[in-house]
Structure 1
């Protein structure tokens, strides 16, 4: 009898072996595993299905081996805790290896067998290149009988895992550990280190900026992602004769100097320290603390150094740093920071001429493996805690409700169940208040878990003492409970567990807290994150933080939750229990992300993180990973300033906005955000400081931020700024800010007048800088040609006119599903009608699969018409079909953007008025996007 089902399972964005194993364990009657290796990074991902099987009485057998000593003791001990699982180990001797990777699931009248290459490790289950074949067939199949017979044979010759076996195996591994890593031999030439992806991108961008005469730049990347290495590589490329590297804390200085010495061994330069204890002034490359260099500035010439590096550049707005930056005149200054947020409210971007050479947020850092993966478990809090009727900002009341002994026991139970990476548990617990942190530390100590409470009022020396104790493998301190001091700045690389013990009321804070444990550290392969999710009304903010996108809608969030955040890269695993998932999905469904109430709440929460200061500028929102998208505020009131004035009832802002020309000017500039091409804003930025600009100068300015540009697009940008393609309605009431004369674009008298007022100028510059920097973050430095479309970016219909250099009134690019500019055809497609409105007509526009799409033309199109022929024979006729797709036209009464999925070619057609066309896409739609388009939640 033939198998009823065969399937190849690979690890991809669409699927992985872990998903298949969890599903199978939840549905089967018995399971049998035989794998060469089990380590805790993989086993932790299967703990919940193992527990669920235990509850249902589903029994299992697991065979693993001592082959190459990869299986760890912690995994054997953990499996032993499950009463429903029998565990045996095949002890490898002599030349016999043990390589099996088989997962067998027994059902009422059939078996599912998965045989392939995956052991139980996080990377084998989620991210490695693995091939596993799934076969489902009746139990009387000969293949099944052969597999079960072989399994029984292995089971009978393997050893039972009992306490005696574990002790012997543990002693053996410890003895091996004394002579080095028991199972890992890596060929590595330490002198030959190459830049990672992040470092390469930064170096390329720095090189380009310098090539166009820029003298300053900022690099933003998470702690532990290799910024110091990046700066050393850039120094190696640019060969400065003299270098000054400045840091805020002396302990960083030694590591920085060692990195430079290692990467520049044959450059013929000398290295030295300038600190309180060392005064090595007569060297080529000086590594100095800010405290020391600021006191001996005048011992150096102003142009002494060719290259100046400021580490932890968010401190550079302080007076001490300013004195140093204002004194020296280097050829180039590089700032590096994990966060451009600055507590004194000053703008770090301005210090580096708003040149952001690179920004790496959490998702990119995970994708490029610059930080370790995390395993997030969203756990429904105990029933005894009710936060449904409490304001999360009422810290005293929240604290009171969280201080319950039963909850402490529940938290400890979960910490013990999920475990941690490494031998010693090293935990940061984030609490609602100092009182709550102190309570948690006391209660944990009472139960025998060595803990301390640390908060902002503790002296630095006390903090450092406890951090060292937590980091030490030989100290019994395991838990630090804290409130705010570890959100940003404080670094404990060896942290292997983060527990969230307070309601999340800000995606920014959540990401900062999560980030505390993501730094790479020897012997640490993943971070365990336990989040205790209560029934408070903002629980859905967790989903915003985990989704990793500042730009979200209700539908994409719901799909992310329902698919276990499949868009998260690598071995990172996000799992919410069923109650938390349903609660969060219900909150998202009921929330209107476009309502004034929601926008105000989002704004006020952000203001709180801004030390309570009004965030007057759009640039403030670039400081934090997880910040709200201020474009939503602009959409509401036509300019960010008007939104703030309305929310704050701020008299000074209302006074500024009394000038109708100023308000119309910032509305005009704000309407172009977020930028889909950068040319116009680069031109405006230049014109703020200059009278006029030629095509050639504009080209040079644009090439500072992108790798290439065509002259026609720059000329088109000049025409757009001259308002050539506005209709009469658009022109009415809009100030003319620029005018095109004799091959040059000039500032109008109106614009000159606005720039003479410093307050007006600041807000205009803010819009321009925000537009440019945000564009660079989203589009990088790539050139997209004409039409200027980036795959999977969001667009409105009218954007196609601008980005294809359309030379007629742009507002005509609306209304129809097919718009054209010469040989460029733009297909704008709605997959469904409005969300929550019953669909009365059956839409024929649909995905056939991730590489093919079925599209129906407008009703009056015939096969013999020129337009019909251009569509159905597009390739032969040189017509480019560009597809833009959205799931719903409207959500919560707001028009949704389209997603550009690239070009396609007609491969089949049928019917008249309309014509139904099957289009083969030139780019296969990425799995996470395909799921979002096609999955209904």
Structure 2
């Protein structure tokens, strides 16, 4: 019994209702018309279940039903949940809700009172039959029509405030400019507000004249309107330069690329202080290049949702590799910049067998997918799960053009108006059908395609995505999923139906849905087993039992660190790029869902080495034989992924300058981080000077810097290496990749000293660098407890190897999300100074930093630790070792706790 039932919440329960129906379990539901919030669509769907009796409380001015109570009858007891949650996606997934569960025997007085009240309401409510539904549907339509007529447009009067993404972007752009940079790129998913962000930054910058360039006129007009609404300086004129408008004298000019190219000579190259390139992935095309070569603005901003669509490999280089912000799918979900999705992983129909078929064999896959029984199965599932909104607006992604044509024909035969669109169709033809799908008055329901909607096509009204092909790439999966996530007034969520076959790469779905480029086998298995509980907001992911077991089995059998897997991952990424070799680490930054190239580096010590092996390229192999270059590249590659940006910021500056003072070092570092101390900078200088390397490191690395009287100087060896273009390309690539990835993972926050970010991954030796340790850093290894002054670093493996001697303890474990039990090294007594420091850490001003990993190794590769913050001892017992209970400064997130404690 709950007052409000929305389809957004009901859809999450449909499989449960079906399982109960199949098991013969009966149920009763009471809901209400109170506030006209319950949706007729939800009531209609509930009525399709034979095992559920549905009644409704018809509210009046005098009375309404606002209860939320759930009663479950078991053999010996009742479970009763009473609280605040209605059946809506927000109530079930993301709202702050309070509910209390009571378990009681059947003869309990409280249970008796609850059941009595329920029955009394049941007896005075109405049955939801066809007559009631028709009346209620018409009433809700009428209410909506009246509400739409009453709507007053306040947009021109209200104050529009920047969202979280826009605030971060403008702050980062300001910081980059403050420290001497004059170009930057912003990457953010479609619909997240990049145009508004650029307008807020222009308002902050206050240029005398600004130029906004884009190749599509409809975007241009929308952008001009946005600036007009936000601009507080009404003395600034806004104009268009298009095929029909020639308002060239405007202060803020919005120009189409072709019109601007045709009239470049009419403008002074320095005329515009601020230049914006929208859809910046085209910035290296001849038209854009002509514009960028001509104008000399004080600041250049590029914006794109799809850097992977760039016309060259160097979209980042055009903007000096300054990525002011990158917001991809999962972060956009977290920030509520796109709508949530409800993903249902459905085991494909039995008649389709993809086992043993190579995913490259499109002809054979198409043949096996073209089954009428499968078409009926897909339509049945579409009808079962439904969609948000009144009209179906669907895109189905197919394995081939032949498969897409087959699906369109078969859907049309079954009365669902559908069309096949592919890259072979002319742009005008494609746009015609896209417009028809957008039009509520048109009866087109489904567009079947292969790849034209993977990227760059924007249809905000899409409410259903069908994944009808075996997933062979996380990148393609994410691109296709993203097509339906644009916000639209007629939908609150996207329905995604993925038909999962028995092909041997089904586990790639887990990698795509997990949303992290950095994963291991165990974290993926936990994600699948917990139905991706860590995905933010109202997004809901569920797989049926067979699909879940199939994917878990594949994950068990796969070795993500084997050369076979790494080679397949590389080759698939190369195929994604239409066969173009990814010569640069920055190529991986462009694609959401791309493989983590650090795995390639780990395998061969440098990415260049891995690349040479994959491509069997003798010229690339030859570069590695140059001793000094290889030593420098290997040294820099070993620092990836960065945990401290200082060194790379300094080295990047020194590619073009021969020395660096403390003040210049500060300026370079502050481009990427909000604060830095003199002690941090000096430690970084000393690190680059090689002072903290052991003898074998000094031997295997070249000397790149000399620190003389507080000034850092580049050595002749370093200068010689970077003077060779081919060498410089790979050195610069490592530096840029390291910095851009650092910004993505750490942002611009200063995390204090030691410089640890909560829940970030670290190796043991990282603590030496991040705590400004001034002795040999390689000494940070081997022990579960390492110290630097009053900082104690605790390194803990939750699951020990089976063959380790029994003398090593097995007592390190979470007692709750806030309490951890740890045993000290075996030789630690309570009376020793170290023992007292651990037991009385707060009184003695000792910081106990906890680094935890679930397993030491997975598939033969050493796992990193995860920093969970500081802890204070509040209980202790025993001697050699001492068992201590630590209260954590931060309660660890539920999803991470699940990952640590759950065994799959």
Task: Give the TM-score taking structure 2 as reference length.
Answer: 0.98
- State the match for 1:904 in structure 2: 871
How big is the shift at 1:841?
A: 6.6
Q: Distance in 2 between matches of 1:182 and 1:92?
A: 24
Partner of 1:450: 417
Residues 1:719 and 2:724 are matched in the alignment: no
User: In the TM superposition, what is the alpha-carbon distance from 1:745 to its structure 2 partner?
Assistant: 1.2
Partners of 1:833 and 1:839 within 8 A in 2: no
1:918 matched to 2:895? The reply is no
Deviation at residue 346 of structure 1 after TM alignment: 2.4
Deviation string 1:321-367 (CA, Å, 9 cap, x unpaired) is: 01101111111111100021135332111111111110001111000
**CA separation in 2, counterparts of 1:732 and 1:284?**
60
- Residue aligning to 1:895: 862
Asked whether 1:162 is paired with 2:129, we answer yes
Q: Does 1:697 align with 2:688?
A: no
Instruction: Please give the secondary structure, in 1, of the residue aligned with 2:15.
Output: helix
Q: 2:281, 2:311 within 8 Å by CA — same for their partners in 1?
A: no
Q: Distance in 2 between matches of 1:782 and 1:834?
A: 37
- 1:242–1:306: 8 Å Cα contact kept in structure 2? yes
The alpha carbon displacement at 1:794 in A equals 0.5
Hey, what's the Cα distance between the residues in 1 that align with 2:718 and 2:678?
Answer: 25
The answer to whether the aligner puts 1:53 opposite 2:20 as a matched pair is: yes
How far did residue 185 of structure 1 move? 11
Distance 2:270 2:277 in 1: 16
Q: Which residue of 1 aligns with 2:260?
A: 293
Map 1:243-392 → 2, pairs under 5 A: 243-392=210-359
Structure 1 residue 80 corresponds to structure 2 residue 47: yes
Aligned residue number for residue 657 of structure 1: 624
Please list, as runs of the form range in 1=range in 2, the aligned pairs for 1:737-748 lying within 5 A after superposition. 737-748=704-715
Tell whether 2:118 aligns with 1:151: yes
Shift of 1:835: 8.5
Structure 1 position 821 matched with structure 2 position 762: no
In structure 2, the residue matched to 1:435 is 402
* 3-state SS of 2:71 partner: strand
The match for 1:141 among 94, 98, 108 is 108
Is it true that 1:612 corresponds to 2:579 in the alignment? yes
Flag the 1:653–1:349 CA change in 2: closer, same or farther, 3 A.
same
From 206, 209, 213, the counterpart of 2:176: 209
In 2, the alpha carbon distance for the partners of 1:638 and 1:135 equals: 58
Bigger drift between 174-183 and 341-350 goes to: 174-183
What does 1:681-692 align with in structure 2 at a 5 Å threshold? 681-692=648-659
Who is 2:392 aligned against? 425
Q: Which runs of 5+ in 2 are unaligned?
A: none
The equivalent of 2:676 in structure 1 is 709
Written as runs of structure 1 = structure 2, the 5 A alignment for 1:540-619 is: 540-619=507-586
SS at match of 1:621: helix
Aligned residues: 904
Shift in Å at residue 842 of structure 1?
5.8
Is 1:242 aligned to 2:190, yes or no?
no
Query: Is residue 586–residue 736 contact of structure 2 (8 Å, CA) maintained in 1?
Result: yes
Corresponding residue for residue 38 of structure 2: 71
Query: CA distance change for structure 1 residues 188 and 303 in 2, over 3 Å: closer, same or farther?
Result: closer
Measured after TM superposition, the shift of residue 181 of structure 1 is: 5.2
Cα distance in 1 for residues equivalent to 2:628 and 2:170: 42
Shift of 1:175: 1.6
1:860–1:429 Cα change, 3 Å: same
Are the structure 2 counterparts of residues 93 and 350 from structure 1 closer, same or farther at C-alpha, using a change threshold of 3 Å?
Answer: same
- Consecutive unaligned residues of structure 1, counting only runs of 5 or more, are 1-33
Cα distance in 1, alignment partners of residues 323 and 720 from structure 2: 30
Asked if the contact 1:314/1:341 (under 8 Å) is kept, the reply is yes
Task: Name the residue aligned to 2:188.
Answer: 221
Q: Aligned equivalents of 1:841 and 1:56: distance in 2?
A: 49
1:121-154 CA-to-partner distances (Å, cap 9, x unmatched) read 0001111111111111111111111111111111
SS of the aligned residue for 1:178 comes to helix
Q: Which residue of 2 aligns with 1:845?
A: 812
Change in Cα spacing, 1:760 to 1:392, as seen in structure 2 (3 Å) is same
Q: CA deviation at 1:383?
A: 1.4
Q: Which residue does the alignment assign to 2:740?
A: 773
Residues in 1 aligned to 2:671 and 2:519: alpha-carbon distance in whole angstroms: 30
Write the distance in 2 (CA, Å) between the matches of 1:541 and 1:524: 28
Question: Partners of 1:823 and 1:528 in 2: how far apart?
Answer: 53
Q: CA deviation at 1:723?
A: 1.1
Select which of 94, 98, 120 maps to 1:131: 98
Distance in 1, matches of 2:804 and 2:156, equals 63
Q: Does 2:806 correspond to 1:868?
A: no
CA distance in 1, matches of 2:33, 2:324: 49
Partner residue in 2 for 1:493: 460
Whether the 8 Å CA contact 1:343–1:611 is kept in 2: the answer is no
Cα drift, residue 213 of structure 1: 2.0
Contact persistence 1:176–1:182 (CA under 8 A): no
Deviations 1:736-757 (A, max 9, x none): 1222222211111111111111
Report the TM-score, using the length of structure 1 for normalisation.
Answer: 0.95
1:21 match: none
**Separation (CA, whole Å) in 1 of partners of 2:152 and 2:757:** 43
C-alpha separation in 1, matches of 2:116 and 2:902: 41
Q: 1:75/1:835 Cα in 2 relative to 1: closer, same or farther (>3 Å)?
A: farther
Kept in 2: contact 1:61–1:86 (CA 8 A):
yes
Q: What CA distance in whole angstroms lies between the structure 1 residues aligned with 2:150 and 2:525?
A: 42
What secondary structure, in the 3-state scheme, does the structure 2 residue paired with 1:179 have?
Answer: helix
1:641 to 590, 595, 608: 608
1:243-279 alpha-carbon deviations (Å, 9 max, x no partner): 1111121111111111111111543211111001111
Change (3 A) 1:597 1:196: same
Match in the other structure for 1:801: 768
Q: Report the Cα distance in structure 2 between the residues aligned to 1:45 and 1:262, rounded to whole angstroms.
A: 39
Check the 8 A contact 2:283/2:311 in 1, yes or no. Answer: no
Aligned counterpart, 1:103 = 70
The question of whether the paired residues in 1 share the 8 Å contact of 2:156 and 2:229 is answered with no
- 1:466 paired to 2:466: no
| Matched-pair contact (CA < 8 Å) for 2:82–2:101 | yes
Range that drifts further, 626-635 or 256-265: 256-265
- Partners of 2:351 and 2:151 in 1: how far apart? 48
Inter-partner Cα distance in structure 1 for 2:804 and 2:498: 36
Q: Is residue 200 of structure 1 aligned with residue 167 of structure 2?
A: yes
Deviation for aligned residue 1:184: 10
- CA RMSD after TM alignment: 1.6
Residues 191 and 263 in structure 1, CA contact (< 8 A), matched pair in contact too: no
Q: Give, in angstroms, the shift of residue 183 of structure 1.
A: 12
Residue deviations 1:775-825, cap 9 Å, x none? 000000011122111111101111111111111111111000000111111
Query: Would you say the 8 A contact 1:227–1:336 is kept in 2?
Result: yes
Question: What is the Cα deviation at residue 718 of structure 1?
Answer: 1.1
- 1:670-705 residue CA offsets vs partner (Å, 9 max, x unmatched): 000000000000000000000111111000111111
Structure 2 CA distance for aligned equivalents of residues 304 and 610 of structure 1 = 38
Partner in structure 2 of residue 16 of structure 1: none
Task: Report the Cα distance in structure 2 between the residues aligned to 1:841 and 1:585, rounded to whole angstroms.
Answer: 31
Q: Deviations over 1:893-933 (max 9, x none)?
A: 11110000111111111111111111111111111111111
Aligned partners of 1:452 and 1:479 also within 8 Å: yes
CA displacement at 1:214 relative to structure 2: 1.2
Whole-angstrom CA distance in 2 between matches of 1:147 and 1:906: 46
Structure 2: distance between partners of 1:712 and 1:41: 54
- Contact 2:420/2:447, CA 8 A, preserved across alignment: yes
